[in-house]
Structure 1
Amino acid sequence: MTVNPAHTALWPAPHASGAVDATVHVPGSKSVTNRALVLAALASEPGWLRRPLRSRDTLLMAEALRTMGVEIEEGVGPEGTGEFWRVIPAGLRGSATVDVGNAGTVMRFLPPVATLADGTVRFDGDPRSYERPLHGVIDALRALGARIDDDGRGALPMTVHGGGALEGGPVEIDASSSSQFVSSLLLSGPRFNQGVEVRHTGSALPSMPHIRMTVDMLRAVGAQVDTPESGGEPNVWRVTPGALLGRDLTIEPDLSNAQPFLAAALVTGGKVVIPDWPSRTTQPGDRLREIFTDMGGSCELTDYGLVFTGSGAVHGIDVDLGEVGELTPGIAAVAALADSPSTLRGVAHLRLHETDRLAALTKEINELGGDVTETADGLHIRPRRLHGGVFHTYEDHRMATAGAIIGLAVEGVQIENVATTAKTLPDFPDLWTGMLGA
């Protein structure tokens, strides 16, 4: 097997010589883009996605839908409107093979879609994808009438035998290891004969904002969804069967991917502006305004976007990140540079993400001289003077950006495989050095 040189190269993380002062245009949201692609593919008429994120995860989603017969045209709109994708639904075909890479949204959102295809759809991906939990989706689809071959693993690789339709109806699942189990069933639910009623039976659900995002986007294309927040039963979501509308959607900037740039302002005592930050959003990254303010910054949401300013001091924090777990690596990096200890709680499920993020953060920060201890559901971080060294990424995009944050304040940090940021944030190295004026 040939190893991509970009995966083994060491990238010298730029060290900030002073306060950052920059405007950073963050690309579109991966979470919104991939949900929008699925909903557009299941609609009864063509739809448009404007300013979609073009990253490894979203390109894998688009290509997977194409293999099942959906037509996705790419183009560039008039000046100032950016790229667009036009999605033209079609009868979903089988005899397809889907490469999920290591994208949780692809491996979990598309098996329910595949049950609607006319024939078999095989799912495969990166070696790490075999280790990520998929049992919630597989068991639920079987309970709803699907036939799936996974050799009893509850994980990839697997084959879905599509029958052109799925009966649907009520199903119980334990989604405590991933909220994507719930979202995956809701997104395809309108196309099931009886719709779907998803009842979560496990412990606390992680990443609830992502379920709220799924519900909001379903309602925006005409689906009827009953939720606990709308007066329904706790931990129960119901989607009524019906046609989905094609729509013209402009994708929001990815607020979680704005995190390293906001962290740069906090760590250097500078200022970063993120244009087009939405005034209302279900993206978990919006919580950064509160968390990074508590850690020593200040922010102002204007008509142009978010203006975030560091004070020159970075404070520790005690915070439950259960709903916004994807922010943990960046917060841990900032906490390692703070003036007091931090405790990050509610994120035991991060052990099942692109890598075991809790173990990885502990090892990598400690190897730079830090003092990080794993807890049952998170991390305890005691700031110490850090030194240079190699920061490994484990093919995890958020590990790479966490290392870059530390590199701003610590000379001699080298990021192994910074190219993994292409999973959700294309051109990160150029955006990062551009922010620093290099």
Structure 2
Amino acid sequence: MPEQNSWTAPVAGDKIDATIRVPGSKSITNRAYVLAALSAEPTLVRDPLDSRDARLMLAALAELGATSEHTADGVLVHPLTPGEGEVSIALGNAGTVARFTPALAALGARTVHFDGDAAIRRRPVAPLLTALRALGTDLDDDGRGAPPFTIRGSGGLPGGEVELDSSASSQFLSALLLAAPAFSSGVTVRLVGTAPSEPHIAMTLDMLRRFGAAPERDRDRFHVPPASLSLADYTVEPDLSTAAPFVVAPLLAGGTVRIAGWPRETTQPGDWLRSLVRELGAEVTLDDSGLTVTGTGRLPGARFDLHEVGELTPVIAALLCFADAPSEISGVAHLRGHETDRLAALATELTALGGDVSETEDGLRITPAPLHAGVFHTYDDHRLVMAGAVLGLRVAGVEVENPATVGKTFPGFVEAWHALLDPA
């Protein structure tokens, strides 16, 4: 999509009747790349997401010694190879890169410098760095607990048992678990506090098993023994969280949307959307071709605890602005440490367009109010671009700032959104 400062989100006219195919899951793609890099043989990752975050991950792995190549069928990732010297890893604003690659750097022999966009310096990473130090990593962050930081690899780490506070992000736990098979004694993690997004933890454990590891879990205790990973071929599922604006569109515009390729079984948190839209009155069908959602254009107020599916909050908050009764979202205090403080951003931007939205301790309170045209600032956050698109279905003149930032997860989002409303 060409760079532009704003995008006028299109208003829905007639009822929707469209079939949409969303790109591969970012969460699955970057986990697959990490596990492929730790494998003994090359892995072909099929249908991966091609976005800024995914490219940053491949570039980071290449600096660490795991090269890759694009093929007609996907991306072929080669195993990490030993190397020395100093390298730098560009994190951008990619949480998965900032959290998943430091453990890999600790396993190698290079001196690795990590830094990225200004936003990544504000995103929490201190608990992970503390855990890596406890496992023997030589790490220097000048006490910031955030990028920039440097890891001096020693050629491998023994592993062992470590406590981890993963309450700010489940990615801290996933980072240690993904790297654990390469530690000589594996890794045992005892969680302190509660990690959000249980589905993402389940995703990590499932993918470890698929690549040949044997993770064990006893409530808040996780153990991954050393293992030789290997998986010649892995196919990435469509990104169900990225599908969120398309799934909820019929609830505002009426009509039917079909999401091609929606899996019958998945660990993705976005699968909860099926339950959400059904609770809000939509008809929902899942079959071998994908997910079909039919809505009437009306929806009731609701109360949702989104602790396990926090990434859906921006789209759901935008949706609930059009409910016929007050709504509340809870359980998502951790969103204050995402690409931006999503709760503050949503309350500010939705209110600026006429909404009655206020922050609570762990979420948002939304009271129906007439919305009007205006600029919807997105704070370099891809999920806010999607929320702005949802608002535009009902409100003419919503100017979504910096739409190109949606390239983090869906580079073709704007084109797909126009196709949703005008399939011809």
Partner Cα separation in structure 2 for residue 358 and residue 313 of structure 1: 25
Partner Cα separation in structure 1 for residue 372 and residue 83 of structure 2: 54
Shift of 1:20: 1.0
Residues 10-33 of structure 1: per-residue CA shift (max 9 Å, x gap): 211111112111000100000000
Q: Determine if the alignment matches structure 1 residue 195 to structure 2 residue 186.
A: yes
Which amino acid letter does the alignment assign opposite residue 67 of structure 2? E
Which amino acid letter does the alignment assign opposite residue 138 of structure 1? L
Shift of 1:92: 4.1
State the TM-score, normalized to the length of structure 1.
0.95
Which amino acid letter does the alignment assign opposite residue 178 of structure 1? S
1:36-51 matches, within 5 Å, as 36-51=32-47
1:110-149 matches, within 5 Å, as 110-149=101-140
Partner Cα separation in structure 1 for residue 52 and residue 245 of structure 2: 19
* Change over 3 Å in CA distance of 1:92–1:351 after alignment to 2: farther
RMSD over aligned CA atoms reads 1.2
Which amino acid letter does the alignment assign opposite residue 203 of structure 2? M
Q: Which residue of 2 aligns with 1:236?
A: 221
Q: Is the 8 A contact 1:12 1:412 kept in 2?
A: yes
Which amino acid letter does the alignment assign opposite residue 131 of structure 1? R
Shift of 1:63: 0.8
What are the ranges of 5 or more consecutive residues in structure 1 without an aligned counterpart? 78-83
Per the alignment, in what secondary structure is the counterpart of residue 415 of structure 1? strand
Partner Cα separation in structure 1 for residue 184 and residue 121 of structure 2: 31
Runs in 1 of length 4+ with deviation above 6 angstroms?
A: none
Q: Determine if the alignment matches structure 1 residue 6 to structure 2 residue 3.
A: yes
Q: Is the 8 A contact 1:298 1:311 kept in 2?
A: no
Q: Determine if the alignment matches structure 1 residue 255 to structure 2 residue 240.
A: yes
Q: Is the 8 A contact 1:368 1:388 kept in 2?
A: yes
Which amino acid letter does the alignment assign opposite residue 211 of structure 1? I
Q: Determine if the alignment matches structure 1 residue 22 to structure 2 residue 7.
A: no
Shift of 1:304: 0.4
Q: Determine if the alignment matches structure 1 residue 205 to structure 2 residue 195.
A: yes
Q: Determine if the alignment matches structure 1 residue 173 to structure 2 residue 182.
A: no
Q: Is the 8 A contact 2:332 2:362 kept in 1?
A: yes
Which amino acid letter does the alignment assign opposite residue 6 of structure 1? E
Residues 361-402 of structure 1: per-residue CA shift (max 9 Å, x gap): 001000110000100000010011110100000000000110
Q: Determine if the alignment matches structure 1 residue 245 to structure 2 residue 230.
A: yes
2:52 to 53, 56, 61: 56
Per the alignment, in what secondary structure is the counterpart of residue 431 of structure 1? helix
Q: Is the 8 A contact 1:43 1:246 kept in 2?
A: yes
Q: Is the 8 A contact 1:221 1:247 kept in 2?
A: no
Shift of 1:314: 1.4
Shift of 1:5: 9.1
1:394 to 379, 382, 385: 379
Q: Which residue of 2 aligns with 1:222?
A: 212
Shift of 1:93: 3.0
Q: Which residue of 2 aligns with 1:81?
A: none
Partner Cα separation in structure 1 for residue 200 and residue 104 of structure 2: 19
Q: Is the 8 A contact 1:294 1:315 kept in 2?
A: no
Which amino acid letter does the alignment assign opposite residue 116 of structure 2? G
1:82-97 matches, within 5 Å, as 84-94=74-84, 95-97=86-88
Partner Cα separation in structure 2 for residue 365 and residue 437 of structure 1: 26
Which amino acid letter does the alignment assign opposite residue 97 of structure 2? V
* Change over 3 Å in CA distance of 1:378–1:159 after alignment to 2: same
What are the ranges of 5 or more consecutive residues in structure 2 without an aligned counterpart? none
Shift of 1:90: 3.3
Partner Cα separation in structure 1 for residue 2 and residue 139 of structure 2: 37
Shift of 1:312: 2.5
Q: Is the 8 A contact 1:57 1:424 kept in 2?
A: yes
Q: Which residue of 1 aligns with 2:141?
A: 150
Q: What percentage of residue pairs aligned between the two structures are identical?
A: 52
Q: Which residue of 2 aligns with 1:186?
A: 177
